[in-house]
Structure 1
Amino acid sequence: MKLVSYLHEGAARWGCVVDDGIIDLGRRLPSFSSVAALLEGGEAALSQARAVAEGAAADHALADVRLDTPVARPRRVFCIGVNYAHRNAEYKDGSELPKYPSIFMRVAESFVAHGEPLLQPLESRQLDYEGEIAIVIGRRARRVKDGDALACIAGLTCMNEGTIRDWVHHAKFNVTQGKNWNASGAIGPWIVTADEFPQGYGDLRVQTRVNGETRQDDTTANLMFDFAYLIGYLSTFTTLEPGDIIATGTPIGAGIRFNPPKFLQPGDVVEIEVGGVGVLRNTVHAEGVAS
């Protein structure tokens, strides 16, 4: 099932995607006000949503709605840095593979939905892309053991964990200010629920294309810290809640790594494709310039 948040005739709604249409599950399941509320209901709520959607006709065409991020204004977004083994080598600093994941946080305002513009800010011309697979948490989790961790996944979505590169380097020990510019990243277009991945998560492909040119291409087989480890590690020091998002890292090939760098420019089209999920597509706009 593909869960989606969207706007139709100015009203916030949620539902699931079938072919080129959307079934309005919020109308059919009024006890759940949003995708986040459905996730809080656990597997019983998801099963109810599947049953209601079975055989139902679409209420809207995808072309007639404006998509929101799949979890509208997510409570917390955890981002994992340098998690593909090839990326550690990309730094060319001779460092050993890390013992623990690098983690930073992003705010909801730093992300837009599928189809919405990414903003090149007034203060920088170093907007960069980072294609990632994002985990959406589906149950409350604290000190989760590896064997139970994957059961905490509600589903997966695509993420462009966009970065303002020069602002990442303003300070010695943090990246927060380069990672939280308004509309610098994107999430979407929907959440594909965990039952759609019977093969597991060990070899999922993520690609980034800019104007049709493939810049990043790797699979989760090369993750240094897999999905189960990340959930277990994060849940050791904090309580994960339904609707929380974990960005699992980006492969080699970000714009900063080219010589000269290939930063995003107004008019560029960025596509993040995740196997089994779909394609997240956004166009870059210059902040303050009418589209």
Structure 2
Amino acid sequence: MKYASYIAHGQPYYGAVTDAGMIALSPDLPQWRTLHEVIAAGTFDRLAEVAKDKPVTHTTFTYDMVLPDARRILCVGVNFPDRNAEYKDGSETPKYMSLFPRFASGFTGHDQPLIRPPENHTLDYEGEVAVVIGKAGRRIAQADAYDHIAALTICNEGTIRDWVRHAKFNVTQGKNWDRSAAMGPWLVPFTDASQLDDARIVTRVNGEVRQDDTLDRMMHPIRRQIEYISTFMTLQPGDVIVTGTPTGAGARFDPPRYLAPGDLVEVEVNTIGTLRNTVADEVL
């Protein structure tokens, strides 16, 4: 079963996704207002029980960012071999991973537009898998890392490229423009290692394949990411790790191929689904 955050009749809900529409679950679980609160309470497994035999409640709705109140979103940068080579700096595979934070305000939902700001038009795409932590832990061993994952989702980690160059040692400015990225469409419960080990990311812009790679080629695999991050911070239920994008982002073409209003970006992960977004200019 898949679970999403959505808006219907002007009200926020979370529920189970079906081919016929949404089954609202939040009215049955008023003590947890959001999917993030469900996961933080350690009750994510209860959703399937609540959804069982319930009818569809909404056929008209708008997808929201799947975890709109996520407290901590940590992203892994330059995590595929070809991505490292794209920088053309002659560097070897880095011993440690690059990390940066993103905030929930920078994300929109499935089928919603990525917003290009008037200040800069270098909006770029990055298709990625995101893992949602379900069990707290500190100094988690790689062998135990998957036991701490509750769910998986997809991220288009939209970036304003010129703004990642505003300072010498960080990319935070270019990574946190309002609604410049997307996360969703839904959460898929993590039940089997093959959901990550056999996952493939394919990103298309207007139907053209721009990114295509498998997670097993990551320089810093997800087990290692959880081990490393949990060394310096206690991972908490509801934390999100965005795990890295393959080669093929628009900035790496010559000349660059940035997103423009009207473009359609699709990020497909075979074990999760497809996240789809258009592009629009910000309305001031």
Q: Same fold (TM over 0.5)?
A: yes
> Aligned residue for 2:34?
34
Per-residue CA deviation, residues 267-287 of structure 1 (Å, 9 max, x unaligned), is 111111111211111111111
> Aligned residue for 2:48?
50
User: Using the alignment, how far apart are the partners of 1:276 and 1:185 within structure 2?
Assistant: 21
- Residues 129-144 of structure 1: pairs in structure 2 closer than 5 A: 129-144=125-140
DSSP 3-state at the match of 1:201? helix
- One-letter identity of the residue aligned with 2:54: A
> Aligned residue for 1:222?
217
- Residues 40-189 of structure 1: pairs in structure 2 closer than 5 A: 40-42=40-42, 45-61=43-59, 64-189=60-185
Shift of 1:200: 4.4
- One-letter identity of the residue aligned with 1:70: V
- One-letter identity of the residue aligned with 2:56: A
The answer to whether the Cα contact below 8 Å between 2:138 and 2:234 also exists between their aligned partners in 1 is yes
DSSP 3-state at the match of 1:46? coil
User: Using the alignment, how far apart are the partners of 2:218 and 2:248 within structure 1?
Assistant: 15
User: Using the alignment, how far apart are the partners of 1:107 and 1:200 within structure 2?
Assistant: 26
Shift of 1:184: 1.0
The total of aligned residue pairs comes to: 284
Shift of 1:161: 0.5
**Does residue 262 of structure 2 align to residue 264 of structure 1?**
no
Dislocated runs of 4+, deviation >4 Å = none
User: Using the alignment, how far apart are the partners of 1:200 and 1:71 within structure 2?
Assistant: 20
> Aligned residue for 1:280?
275
Structure 2 segments unaligned to the other structure (5+ residues): none
The answer to whether the Cα contact below 8 Å between 2:131 and 2:243 also exists between their aligned partners in 1 is yes
DSSP 3-state at the match of 2:194? coil
User: Using the alignment, how far apart are the partners of 1:150 and 1:244 within structure 2?
Assistant: 14
- Residues 246-265 of structure 1: pairs in structure 2 closer than 5 A: 246-265=241-260
Worse-superposed segment, 254-263 or 269-278: 269-278
* Amino-acid identity (%): 50
The answer to whether the Cα contact below 8 Å between 2:83 and 2:247 also exists between their aligned partners in 1 is yes
Per-residue CA deviation, residues 172-223 of structure 1 (Å, 9 max, x unaligned), is 111111111111111111111102x452421201111111111001010111
The answer to whether the Cα contact below 8 Å between 2:267 and 2:276 also exists between their aligned partners in 1 is yes
- One-letter identity of the residue aligned with 1:99: K
Per-residue CA deviation, residues 48-75 of structure 1 (Å, 9 max, x unaligned), is 22122223221112xx111111112211
The answer to whether the Cα contact below 8 Å between 2:5 and 2:66 also exists between their aligned partners in 1 is yes
Shift of 1:109: 1.1
Shift of 1:230: 0.6
TM-score normalised per structure 1: 0.94
DSSP 3-state at the match of 2:32? coil
> Aligned residue for 1:21?
21
Structure 1 segments unaligned to the other structure (5+ residues): none
DSSP 3-state at the match of 1:6? strand
User: Using the alignment, how far apart are the partners of 2:176 and 2:115 within structure 1?
Assistant: 12
- One-letter identity of the residue aligned with 2:52: E
DSSP 3-state at the match of 2:49? helix
